[in-house]
Homo-oligomer: A and B are copies of this chain.
Amino acid sequence: MVDKEPESKEEYDVNKFERPSVTTDVVIFTIKNDDLKVLLIKRGVWPFKDMWALPGGFVGMKESLDDAAKRELCEETGVCNVYLEQLYTFGEPKRDPRTRVITVAYMAVTNQSNIKLRASSDATEVDWYSVYNLPKLGFDHAKIIDYALTRLRYKLEYKPVAFEFLPPKFTLTELQKVYEIVYNKTIDKRNFRKKVNELNVLKDMNETKMEGAHRPAKLYSFIKENFKSVENKWIVFVPF
């Protein structure tokens, strides 16, 4: 016996096939205490109860993947309105003990100030951890963070993501520190400034920042419109 082929939405049987669950998980980076951190939540429920994991959750039937990632991050951690990009989709059949769960991983970047963490019902604790010193993680989240770090380093080479780590006004030393911390290596100050200058994407704010008994530093802001990724190459310090 052969089923009649559906010819419209009304005739289409949505329950014909068994379906997996789809979640989003977000690796959110920030810089705090001169260290690259990711936000983790301590799970309050089975599976991996009491272990740390990435914020994330099920995708609603009527929301886009981007919206789901945004919503989950905001709900679970209080981190809202940040730079977000899709990374990779992890779908090994056994990666979640509950059922078949496919997760669309996202990467986010924010500056540390103005972020007030909050714990949700699913998470007993929320905290920043150094990417170089992670706790034991549930699911395949260690692999996801590893992937996100590779992407972050790669992305910083050719897109102006570094500014997402900084407040709207920043000094050149602060910008350099972002690269140094993400790449975990020191950079020559003169070469750095030479390259940044050639890009013509910074606006001198005619303000200075003083902190300590030394010469104050000029403050700059990033002019997004001036950035041309096709014509100008972006800063490349660590080729992969």
Q: B-contacting residues of A (Cβ < 8 Å)?
A: 5-9, 12, 14, 17-22, 45-46, 49, 58-59, 61-65, 86, 88-89, 91-93, 97-100, 102, 104, 158, 229-230, 233, 239-240
Contact = CB atoms under 8 A, between A and B. Distances in A.
State how many copies of this chain the complex holds. 2
B61 A93 contact: yes
Given A63-B93, A91-B65, A104-B89, A19 B17 contact: no
A20 B17 CA distance: 11
Given A46-B5, A86-B88, A17 B58 contact: yes
A89 B61 contact: no
Given A5-B46, A230-B240, A20 B59 contact: yes
Contacts of A5: 45-46
A6 B46 contact: yes
